[in-house]
Amino acid sequence: MPADMDNSSVMNDSTASGDASASSSGNQAAAPPTSSAKKKRNLPGMPDPDAEVIALSPKTLLATNRFVCEICNKGFQRDQNLQLHRRGHNLPWKLRQRSSKEVKKRVYVCPELTCVHHDPSRALGDLTGIKKHFCRKHGEKKWKCDKCSKKYAVQSDWKAHSKICGTREYKCDCGTLFSRRDSFITHRAFCDALAEESAKAQTVEALPAPTADDEEPKLQTLASSSPPPSVAAQPPPPAALASSALPVQNPEGPENPKQSPAPPQILEETSVVTSLTGSCGSSSSSSSHGSTSSSVFASLFASSTTSGSMQSQTPEFTDLFRAVARPENASEVVASSSTEPISLCLATSHGSSIFGTAGQERRQYAPAPQPAMSATALLQKAAQIGAAATNASLLRGFGIVSSASASSGQQEWSGRGIESDSASLAAGLGLGLPCDGGSSLKELMLGTPSVFGPKHTTLDLLGLGMAAGGGPSGGFSALMTSIGGGLDVAAAAAASFGGSGEYSGKDMGRGS
């Protein structure tokens, strides 16, 4: 039976062998556009729309001897080996031939439901690939490199890594270490350290284990790349620090009789500092992204050096730059999202109650207090008070509505009323998830007017005050219906309060 796995088509594999794969059950639970047996067509990103999608079970994927001789039941890791072996059985001509000639292209999906490669449109083209992927992503990392601490689930990955681990290290004058030559070269070309080095007579590269393509005989002494040059070379410190670094630098060049004269160094650093200040200023002027600049400078130091030389100075710089670039709406940067203020954070980060007392939500939507109020914050506010239902619309909260009667001639925003027919809204987005407070959850999602105070019939973008027009929002029900298929899985899982743990939400899971 296992010998059929290679040749037979899709679902027969897993069901025949009795390994009820997660994928097959998952496929049936949802009513998705495809099951693993069907081919997806015309999907962008799908390598070959006519390829046959094969879903193997985890057990099959992990099995090392998948190819079993039907005559003596000996197992082999590779099909070629099996075929070689079969010849030894002196089979009559007919049996020597493979059962069917499969010319069809095959792609394989990962059995792990939450995995991005579970979706046929993200299938992998070869069996070895999917096996390795499964091990790497969902398997236990049994192999560990003894030089560094990296762990691997696939033995060949581990072997490949061990070969190169620590064999090549390139060090720039500024102290940064590189394991790849091209990154090293590129960095070196633009590194500030080069400008100082260019006056030096001898410059070298440090290569613990020289490789064939590295014939440069010059060897860079590490002594010359001492901290002070690295200070100058790094994303420039504030002027004060730069000037203090300078006097240190000059006497420090150990093997360099011809020092590059001080003035150019000062110039270089000053100009760089200026540009830093410039960008600092410009970034703080765009107030809603003020916090970007603080993270900018934080990341300047965080990411730009791997050597220890700057580490001790990093916190001070970070604080310094944070002070310099104090964003006006630092409070808008929600705690959970550390660096990107433009980002959209989960609503949960605002701890205040989601359902403001009825009637108060209007005041919460006073015209955006600062123009810098980020989309994030506004959406979160919307979430707090039940986005769609409020009198002041979600997008009005952005400040998108300039005046109550602003006419946007170009656009016809037909005012469609919020459903007073809560029934149709109730099923809502199909996310009728009976978690705790499930019914209220739906309310939240749908923003049933009755919860939020005065029932309003209009939810139009511009607040044009148009009466509730057009009947039920057909689009909405269509949304619910069409999503229902996919979300039923979520609903079903959640129905058991917490689900079966299939939804780790970690990987990019696709249509189950």
For 377-418, the DSSP string reads: HHHHHHHHT-GGGSSS-TTGGGT---STT---TT-----BPP
Hey, what are 133's tokens?
């992927």
Q: Smallest gap, in angstroms, from Cβ of residue 106 to other proteins?
A: 12
Q: Which is nearer to other proteins, 15 or 286 (CB)?
A: 286
Q: Which residues contact 34 (CB under 8 A, 6 or more apart)?
A: 40, 53, 120, 511
8 A C-beta contact, residue 204 and residue 218: yes
Q: Which is nearer to other proteins, 17 or 390 (CB)?
A: 390
Nearest Cα to 364, choosing from 338, 337, 390, 341?
A: 390
Q: Which is nearer to other proteins, 117 or 322 (CB)?
A: 117
Helix/strand/coil for 109: strand
- The count of other CB atoms within 10 Å of the CB of residue 41 is 9
Q: Smallest gap, in angstroms, from Cβ of residue 94 to other proteins?
A: 36
Hey, what are 269's tokens?
């650093």
Q: Smallest gap, in angstroms, from Cβ of residue 95 to other proteins?
A: 34
Q: How many helices (H) and strands (E) does the chain have?
A: 19, 8
Q: Which is nearer to other proteins, 82 or 174 (CB)?
A: 174
| 243-263 core/surface letters (b: 16 or more CB in 10 A; e: else) | eebbeebeebbeeeeeebeee
Q: Which is nearer to other proteins, 145 or 461 (CB)?
A: 461
Q: Smallest gap, in angstroms, from Cβ of residue 482 to other proteins?
A: 6
Strands (E), 36-187: 52-55, 67-68, 75-76, 106-109, 143-144, 151-152, 170-171, 177-178
8 A C-beta contact, residue 385 and residue 448: no
Q: Which is nearer to other proteins, 17 or 380 (CB)?
A: 380
Q: Smallest gap, in angstroms, from Cβ of residue 280 to other proteins?
A: 10
Hey, what are 409's tokens?
């001639």
Residues 152, 272: Cα–Cα separation, whole Å: 42
Look up residue 352 and give its DSSP letter: S
Q: Which is nearer to other proteins, 32 or 86 (CB)?
A: 32
Q: Smallest gap, in angstroms, from Cβ of residue 479 to other proteins?
A: 5
Q: Which is nearer to other proteins, 86 or 117 (CB)?
A: 117
Q: Smallest gap, in angstroms, from Cβ of residue 253 to other proteins?
A: 17
Q: Smallest gap, in angstroms, from Cβ of residue 364 to other proteins?
A: 15
